[in-house]
Structure formats: C-alpha cells, structure tokens
C-alpha cells in the first residue's frame, strides 16, 4: 500500500524545510509521478522494490536537492540541463515539474524506461525531451548546448566524470549526488583536470536518516 497521507506530509515538510515554493498543482504532479513509478514498477524495473513505499523520501526528495542547488544559477534565465542515465526520471522529471521553464533533456539507454518517461510527460503534462540512447552515442551527434549535466546513481564518480568528459571539456558542469565518502570512487589523477566541490545539506534539515549522509558534488573542468 502506498501511504498517500504520509507521503504528502513528508513531501510538504521537505518543501518547507528546503524553502522551495511550488503551487498545489505541482505538488499533486510530484505525488502522481510517485504513484506512476509505483504502478509501473510492477512490470518495468524502475526503482528497487524495497523503495516502492518510500519513493518520496528515497527519490523525490533527493531530486529536490538538485533543484535547490541549481535554482541559484537560474536567476538570469533558463537552465539547459541534460539528465544522463535518468532511469525513471530522477532527478530530471522532478526538475521539470518544479521548474517548468528549464529545458530538460532526459537521456537513458533503456527503451522500457524511456517509454515510461514519455507516458509520464504525456499524462502529467510535463515538458521534457526524452531520448533513448547511450550517452556515448548521443554525444557524437549532440547539437544542443547545456549548462549542466545532472546524474544520479549512474556510475562511481570517476567513471561518471570519464563518461561525460566530452561535455565537461566544453565547459558544461556536472552535478551529482553521492555519499560523503565519494572521494573513494575517484582516481586522484582526475583532480589535476577537474575541480570538485561538495555541498552538504544542514543535518538538522534532514528528518530522514537515509538523507543525512548525502551530498551534492559539482564537477567542473580546470583551465590553465
Ligand atoms: C541505477 S539507474 C539510476 C536511474 C536514476 N538516475 C535514478 O536515480 O534512479 C542507472 C540508469 O543509467 C542508465 N545508463 C547507464 N549508463 C548509461 C549510458 N552510458 N548512457 C545512457 N544511459 C545509461 C541505465 O539504463 C539506468 O537506467
């Protein structure tokens, strides 16, 4: 059973704690999205079975962290964001719901998952461009410019940086979410080329243990 009341309350609590202001329709869309994940997860492996009842705290709220961080860069306009390995649309769909003026491209190599994403966009009137392709192929023909790449649970940090290197070398920044021990996932030689900054949410802000040891990591190419 999906604990609707509990999820609404948790979501509202975090929106307030994170100082994110969205209207009632957007809150309903986030919850409807959580419900669609739950329903589709029976036939398509979108998230771990253990997370189905906790989709709000395990998936929606961590995706809101991305929004909170990125929103400071959008004061002067629209952000163009590529979500690499978006899976069920995390964090991309959440960003598209909360920041409908941002331009989101949701990339995943799984046909079934992109089918799900197209359904979410149609059913919830979410404006995002869904692409079913491997990043390595996508980048060959990529014409679009992006400000940021976001990625969650796609690969260990060193592998992720190596994967999206073509965009990092063009000045696009990467934002990902990791455990506090993220440096263990990295070959030190990458630090000669890339600057890493970690951003941790105030521990007191977190009411769910699962979220306490997470941080956002920004990666950008060093020049000079
Ligand atoms: C563990 S899932 C995580 C999905 C989602 N970001 C989340 O946080 O739940 C990783 C996803 O990355 C996709 N993926 C992995 N490598 C990829 C690549 N090189 N290009 C495109 N998609 C990739 C997989 O198909 C899978 O859906």
What's the gap in Å between 84 CA and the centre of ligand 1? 7
**Exposure string (b/e) for 65-74, b if CB count within 10 Å is 16 or more?**
bbbbbbbeee
Q: Which of 87, 112, 141 to mutate to test the pocket of ligand 1 (most atoms within 8 A of CB)?
A: 87
Instruction: Please name the residue that has the structure tokens 């980048």.
Output: 139
Specify the pTM.
0.95
- The whole-angstrom separation of Cα 83 and Cα 150 is 5
Which residues is 104 bridged to in the sheet?
Answer: 81
DSSP state, residue 204: G
CATH number belonging to domain 4-221: 3.40.50.150
**Burial class, 42, CB count within 10 angstroms (exposed 0-12 / middle 13-18 / buried 19+):** exposed
- The whole-angstrom separation of Cα 75 and Cα 82 is 19
C-alpha triplet 86, 92, 94: angle, nearest 5°: 130
Question: 26 CB less than 6 Å from ligand 1?
Answer: no
In this prediction, residue 4 carries a pLDDT of: 66
- The whole-angstrom separation of Cα 72 and Cα 70 is 5
Q: Tens digit of pLDDT for each residue in 113-131? A: 999 999 999 999 999 999 9
In this prediction, residue 224 carries a pLDDT of: 66
ipTM higher than 0.85? Answer: yes
Atom number in ligand 1 closest to CA 151: 6
71 in a labelled binding site: no
Q: Tens digit of pLDDT for each residue in 29-57? A: 999 999 999 999 999 999 999 999 899 98
Question: 90 CB less than 6 Å from ligand 1?
Answer: yes
In this prediction, residue 77 carries a pLDDT of: 72
Map out the domains of the chain as residue ranges: 4-221
In this prediction, residue 2 carries a pLDDT of: 55
- The whole-angstrom separation of Cα 210 and Cα 217 is 17
In this prediction, residue 110 carries a pLDDT of: 98
In this prediction, residue 7 carries a pLDDT of: 83
Atom number in ligand 1 closest to CA 163: 19
Q: What is the pLDDT along the chain (224 residues), one digit of tens a residue?
A: 456 677 888 999 999 989 999 999 999 999 999 999 999 999 999 999 999 989 998 999 999 999 999 999 887 679 999 999 999 999 999 999 999 999 999 999 999 999 999 999 999 999 999 999 999 999 998 778 999 999 999 999 999 999 999 999 999 999 999 999 999 999 889 999 999 999 987 777 777 777 788 899 999 999 86
- Sign (positive or negative) of CA dihedral 120, 87, 201, 81: negative
DSSP state, residue 57: I
**Ramachandran quadrant class, 192 (left: phi over 0; alpha: psi -120 to 50; beta: rest):** alpha
């Amino acid at each position: 059973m999906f604990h609707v009341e509990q999820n609404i309350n948790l979501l509202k609590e975090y929106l307030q704690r994170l100082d994110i202001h969205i209207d009632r329709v957007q809150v309903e869309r986030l919850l409807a999205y959580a419900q669609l994940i739950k329903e589709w997860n029976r036939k398509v492996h979108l998230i771990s079975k253990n997370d189905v009842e906790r989709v709000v705290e395990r998936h929606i709220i961590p995706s809101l962290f991305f929004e909170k961080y990125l929103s400071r860069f959008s004061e002067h306009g629209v952000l163009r964001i590529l979500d690499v390995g978006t899976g069920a649309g995390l964090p991309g769909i959440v960003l598209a719901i909360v920041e409908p003026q941002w331009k989101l491209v949701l990339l995943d190599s799984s046909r079934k998952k992109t089918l799900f994403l197209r359904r979410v966009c149609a059913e919830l009137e979410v404006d995002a461009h869904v692409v079913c392709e491997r990043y390595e192929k996508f980048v060959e023909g990529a014409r679009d410019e992006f400000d940021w790449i976001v990625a969650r649970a796609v690969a260990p940090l060193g592998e992720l940086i190596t994967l999206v290197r073509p965009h990092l070398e063009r000045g696009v920044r990467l934002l990902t979410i990791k455990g506090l021990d993220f440096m263990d996932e990295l070959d030190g030689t990458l630090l000669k080329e890339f600057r890493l900054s970690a951003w941790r949410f105030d521990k007191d802000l977190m009411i769910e243990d699962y979220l306490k040891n997470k941080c956002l990591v920004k990666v950008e190419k060093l020049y000079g």
